[in-house]
DNA sequence: ACCTGAACACCGTTCAAGT
DNA sequence: ACCTGAACACCGTTCAAGT
């Protein structure tokens, strides 16, 4: 049962080593982006990076850790884009705020579709656990605060779960469109907006009679 | 560039061969369900099935085809459950109809969580193309017709895209909850309902000014 | 401290030989 | 027609040897 560590094995201490690590990550991204998961093997990565396979294993304990590092980078870049977007759309109508965020997400997915899709899949499969949660919490918190503060959502309780659901919904619709032969981004944008507005601006949610279950308490969690 | 075929290589002609195929598929499902993608190798499958590796390759051209067969089975079983659910909830309020479908989806995902999650991921990664579309179209069509005919959705145009979006949204929220340490199914059920109702029962969608794009035509596709 | 690449282990797939 | 399992190819990972 190989409980594989996903953290980098050690940090480069010399300048040239830092370059090596950078080169490896770039090569990995390029290989993943060109041929997706097939052909994504350490030998090819080493070849593209112009280093020996052994060098990869000096810094990453296994292939999964390499992928985890790429995911971390993608998350960081997304987090920056989200925060910039929130700042730019401050004080605007909710529709504008949401559209701006949707555009960020679409750009993130379609900017390098193959890479983004591959990373998304690996993100699910790897037991990343906490590793990425720092950045993810950073994004989620920023969005949650923006939504909570928005006048049009005065009547909506925006919990952490609500925010994460919005991410989940938007991501799923965007990824789904990305797998189509001829994506229609304008229509996609509308559909995601509709879904998010619908989820957030629900008209007077009446309590629903439902089948018996164990956990019949408060349905939304508090923010951490 | 191995464009791998995903269809079964040949059908068993003798009774004992049919048993072999069945045994292989069951073993594959069991292995996948126990250890997910790690440890899901042909040698183990053959061992669990009590046959030789060679036997697997008599009926399936590669490992992916085996997975594809499992996915096909899961889809068939889901399709049946959906159709039964629609029949039972005929004539009921929209909320009831949706909740019944949501329960089917939740049961499908949580019934064998590891297996379902693994199959979902592979479903994305493999170029299944048409292969499964038969069953998927069957499900989608049944749901679309039920929604279109529903009085509460008289004002909503329920296209094929609308229906697929509902599937995408529900599936994403359910899968997301499935990865949590302690899933709260009652709360999940409510959230999915909220999302679907919000998407379907949108109050007077005003047209939205948006950035210029090529495709500025009708945003929803016709049903096939 | 960093890099190399041959060597090892594991796993997908094939094929000659069997019934 | 079906089944077997040793053999081959490929790829992840290690490690002794180098700078």
CB of B77 within 8 A of CB of B17? no
Residues of A in contact with B125 (CB under 8 A): 37, 121
Number of structural domains in chain A: 1
* CA of B129, C1' of D4: distance in angstroms: 34
Tokens found for residue A25: 């990550």
* Sequence-separated (6 or more) residues with CB below 8 Å from residue A182: none
Is residue A147 a contact partner of residue A153, using CB atoms and an 8 Å limit? Answer: yes
Residue B87 lies in a domain: yes
Q: Residue A72: inside a domain, yes or no?
A: yes
Q: Flag the least confident range among A115-119, B31-35, B105-109, B127-131.
A: B127-131
- Which member of B185, B205, B215 has the closest CB to residue A184? B215
pLDDT at residue B130 in the model: 65
Q: How confident is the model at residue B211 (pLDDT cuts 50, 70, 90)?
A: very low
Provide the angle, in degrees to the nearest 10, between the axes of the packed helices B133-149 and B63-88.
Answer: 20
The confidence score (pLDDT) of residue B20 equals 97
**pLDDT at A150 exceeding the cut of 70:** yes
Mean pLDDT of B70-74: 95
Lowest mean pLDDT among A137-151, B20-34, B130-144: B130-144
Q: What is the mean pLDDT of chain A?
A: 88
CB contact set of B184 (below 8 Å; sequence gap of 6+): A215, A219, B177
Average pLDDT over residues A66-92: 96
Tell me whether residue A223 is in a domain: no
Question: Measured between CA atoms, how close is B54 to chain A, in angstroms?
Answer: 24
Residue A218 is assigned to a structural domain of this protein: no
Are residues A86 and A148 in contact, defined by beta-carbon separation less than 8 angstroms? no
Domain containing B102: what range? 15-200
Whether B152 is in a domain gets the answer yes
Of A8, A34, A36, A32, the C-alpha closest to A20 is: A8
CB atoms near residue B165 (< 10 Å): 25
pLDDT score of A210: 42
Q: What does the pLDDT read at residue A38?
A: 85
Percent of chain B predicted with pLDDT > 70: 87
Q: Evaluate whether residue B218 is within a structural domain.
A: no
Whether A219 is covered by a domain: the verdict is no
Distance CA A119, CA A125 (A): 10
For B53-60, what is the mean pLDDT?
A: 97
Report the nucleotide nearest the CA of residue A44, measured to C1'.
D11
Phi-psi region of B80 (alpha: psi -120 to 50; beta: other; left: phi over 0): alpha
The alpha carbon of residue B9 and the mean position of all alpha carbons in its chain are separated, in whole angstroms, by 24
Partners of B169 on chain A (C-beta within 8 Å) are 169, 172-173, 195
> Regarding predicted confidence, which is higher, B222 or B94?
B94
B70 within domain boundaries: yes
- Asked if the model's pLDDT at residue A213 lies above 60, the reply is no
Give the domain CATH number at A128: 1.10.357.10
The 10s digit of each residue's pLDDT in B109-138 is 999 999 999 998 888 888 777 666 788 889
Using the beta-carbon criterion (under 8 Å), do B169 and A171 form an inter-chain contact?
Answer: no
Residue in A with minimal Cα distance to B200: A198
B173 contacts in A (CB within 8 Å)?
165, 168-169
Closest CB from B121, B171, B185 relative to A121 = B121
Q: List pLDDT tens digits, range A88-118.
A: 999 999 999 999 999 999 999 999 999 999 9
pLDDT cut 70: percent of chain A above it: 87
Tens digits of per-residue pLDDT, A7-22? 888 889 999 999 999 9
A121: Cβ contacts below 8 Å, ≥ 6 apart: A37, B121, B124, B125
SS3 B49: helix
**B13: Cβ under 7 Å from strand D?**
yes
The three-class DSSP label of residue B54 is: helix
Query: Can you give chain A as a three-state secondary structure string?
Result: CCCCCCCCCCCCCCHHHHHHHHHHHHHHHHHHHHHCCCCCCHHHHHHHHCCCHHHHHHHCCCHHHHHHHHHHHHHHHHHHHHHHHHHHCCCCCHHHHHHHHHHHHHHHHHHCHHHHHHHHHHHHHCCCCCCCHHHHHHHHHHHHHHHHHCHHHCCCCCCHHHHHHHHHHHHHHHHHHHCCCCCCHHHHHHHHHHHHHHHHCCCCCCCCCCCCCCCCCCCCCCCC
Instruction: Give the range among A82-86, B103-107, B180-184 with minimum mean pLDDT.
Output: B180-184
B128-153 in b/e form (b: 16+ CB < 10 A) is beebbeebbbbbbebbbebbbebeeb
Whether residue B5 is predicted with pLDDT greater than 60 in this model: the reply is yes
Q: What is the dihedral of CA B126, A42, B39, B74, to 10 degrees?
A: -10
**pTM listed for this prediction:** 0.88
Contact A200, B203 (CB under 8 A): no
Specify the pLDDT at position B206: 43
């Amino acid at each position: 049962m190989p409980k594989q560590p996903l953290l980098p094995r050690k940090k480069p201490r010399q300048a040239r080593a830092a370059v090596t690590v950078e080169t490896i990550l770039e090569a990995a991204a390029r290989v993943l982006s060109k041929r997706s998961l097939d052909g994504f093997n350490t030998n090819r990565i080493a070849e593209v990076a112009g280093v020996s396979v052994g060098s990869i294993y000096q810094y990453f304990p296994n292939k999964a850790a390499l992928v985890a590092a790429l995911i971390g980078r993608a998350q960081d870049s997304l987090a920056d884009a989200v925060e910039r977007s929130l700042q730019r759309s401050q004080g605007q109508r909710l529709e504008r705020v949401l559209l701006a965020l949707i555009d960020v997400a679409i750009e993130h997915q379609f900017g390098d579709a193959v890479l983004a899709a591959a990373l998304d899949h690996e993100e699910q499969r790897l037991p990343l656990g906490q590793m990425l949660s720092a950045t993810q919490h950073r994004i989620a918190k920023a969005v949650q605060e923006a939504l909570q503060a928005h006048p049009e959502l005065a009547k909506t309780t925006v919990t952490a779960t609500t925010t994460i659901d919005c991410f989940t919904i938007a991501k799923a619709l965007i990824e789904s469109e990305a797998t189509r032969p001829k994506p229609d981004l304008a229509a996609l944008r509308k559909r995601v907006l509709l879904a998010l507005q619908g989820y957030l601006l629900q008209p007077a949610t009446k309590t629903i009679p439902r089948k018996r279950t164990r956990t019949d308490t408060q349905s939304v969690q508090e923010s951490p």
